Amino acid sequence: MSIADEYKSRVNKTLDYIESRLDHSFTLDELAAVATFSKYHFHRIFMGVIGETPFHFINRLRLQRAATFLIMNPKITVGEAATQVGFNDISVFSRNFKQHFGQSPSAWRAQMLQKSNLSQTDSNLDKIKQELSIYFCSHTKTIKWRTNMELNKSIEIKNLPDITVAYVRHIGPYKGDEELFRGLWQKMMAWAGPRGLMAQPDLKSLVIYHDDPKITEDMKLRTSICISVPEDTKVDGDVGKMLVEGGQYVVARFVVQTHEFAEAWNWIYASWFPESGYQPDDKPCFEMYTEEPKDGKFTVDICVPVKPL
């Protein structure tokens, strides 16, 4: 394993630590200890790998997470959004938010909601209502929706278990880049295959999206290609390990071609969420692949953590 891979591995471990407790007050000593670097060198190493300082990264992540809360939950106040991501002083939060987004939190939210409303004509809203009907499945004891959205095959609320995964992470643009995803999966399989991990009877393949592409600039988007692994699996180099937290998720199954993934994701957020009675919860969303692609089409479960609106 190269020195560069070792550094990347330790920094990725720190990113996972930060993301799992974003409302926590971090210290440089604490983060350096997670990465097992001297605090005198950690700051410079993190900057070299990620392109921003640890505390700039934390501040940006908090602001972007708060921005997602503001546009996805119309009931939440600016103060509540600030507190949920670790800002105890609303004036500090508002000042930082304006520096990052160029507007106050309230003005930014109003603009984003107006854009969202303008993008949906009355006819589109009627179509949304026609596409969705809710029912309770007595067999599975879950809430499900009927929809005539062509790409969607099923949609329901499920309680998913915790999943320990090994991952290969990419930071940067990814939309529509088949070669990128192919290379990441090949890297994962080249690591997992010799260790017998691809032959697990209940193997799960996931793609985790850590950032909202409508809010985070392309060069800082983080995505992780993952497979489920036993908890005691040893990882190294480019391959990291983390826990995907379980809980209540909307699980929407689609059969899509490569260029249709964005349409599937947009349908969930623009059509399903406004009619569902749910809002996204504060955990990463992911795609789970249940079978091999066939004839250029992927069967994918899009999983978004939810809580009552």
pLDDT of res. 125: 47
List, run by run, the mean pLDDT of 10-residue segments along the chain (309 residues): 80 93 92 92 91 94 92 87 92 95 93 71 47 71 80 92 96 88 94 93 93 91 96 91 94 92 89 86 90 88 92
Half-sphere exposure of 299 (CA within 13 A, CB side): 8
Query: pLDDT tens for residues 215-229?
Result: 999 999 999 999 999
pLDDT of residue 94: 95
Residues 6+ apart with CB under 8 A from 177: none
Record the pTM. Answer: 0.85
Give 38-62 pLDDT, tens digit per residue: 988 999 999 999 999 999 999 999 9
How far is 72 from 70, CA to CA, in rounded Å? Answer: 6
Both tokens of 23, joined, read 């409302």
pLDDT for res 115: 77
Cβ count near 185 (within 10 Å): 16
Which domains, from first to last, does the chain contain?
3-115 (1.10.10.60), 158-308 (3.20.80.10)
How confident is the model at residue 119, as a pLDDT?
A: 55
Interatomic CA distance for residues 179 and 232, integer angstroms: 31
3-state secondary structure of 142: strand
Distance from C-alpha of 272 to C-alpha of 284, rounded to nearest angstrom: 18
Structure token pair of residue 22: 């974003």
